[in-house]
Amino acid sequence: MSAVRRAARCALPRLVLTGAVVWAATACGGAAGAGSAGTTAAEPGGTGWEEPAAYTYTLTSSQGERALIGTFRVTVRDGEVVAAVGLDASGRRVVRQSPAAVPTLGDLLAELDRARRADAATAEADYAADGHPTRIALDREENAVDDEALYVVSAFRPARPQPQPQT
């Protein structure tokens, strides 16, 4: 009898392929659909919240096989992520390997809107009293494996306006 040895397989190609498929599906989210429960600030009946130009927040991203998994402290200025710190091992890995993958709250709301337009099985959000999202749950296909995404937003702080020098 001969022994059979399995070669160790690197998960990176699968992760990259999964990320590319999710990105492509998200980028093509122009299809019209009924969407799921919940509203966004941009929809009638939404919260009316406008993303500030500058803020910080903590993001915990989980579920599914995606590159963006972990907990992050995010700083946004002029609508762009200017700093992201991984607060756990997964978050540090994402910041080191793909810092551009860390989203603004506007990016997360846009992903929610695309999922709704594509008639995702689940595209739900919870909002704080001021209207910013606190939880976004996505599941593009009910019976698909590992296509879910859960984003939990905490410690949201708009930046204080800087005093203007008097002339």
**Tell me: the pLDDT tens digits for 47-103?**
689 999 999 999 999 999 999 999 999 999 999 999 999 999 999 999 999 999 999
Whether 3 is covered by a domain: the verdict is: no
Confidence check: pLDDT of 4 > 90: no
Number of domains in the chain: 1
Whether 9 is covered by a domain: the verdict is: no
State what percent of residues in the chain have pLDDT above 90.
62
Whether 103 is covered by a domain: the verdict is: yes
How many Å apart are CA 149 and CA 62, to the nearest integer? 6
The token duo for 164 is 């203007």
Whether 17 is covered by a domain: the verdict is: no
Are residues 101 and 59 in contact, defined by beta-carbon separation less than 8 angstroms?
no
Whether 53 is covered by a domain: the verdict is: yes
Whether 145 is covered by a domain: the verdict is: yes
Paired residues of 72 in beta bridges? 59, 86
Whether 28 is covered by a domain: the verdict is: no
> Domain range spanning residue 70?
49-158
Taking residues 15-28, what's their average pLDDT? 43
Neighbours of 70 (CB within 10 A): 20
Are residues 63 and 39 in contact, defined by beta-carbon separation less than 8 angstroms?
no
Provide CB contacts within 8 A for 92, sequence distance 6+: 70, 86
Whether 131 is covered by a domain: the verdict is: yes
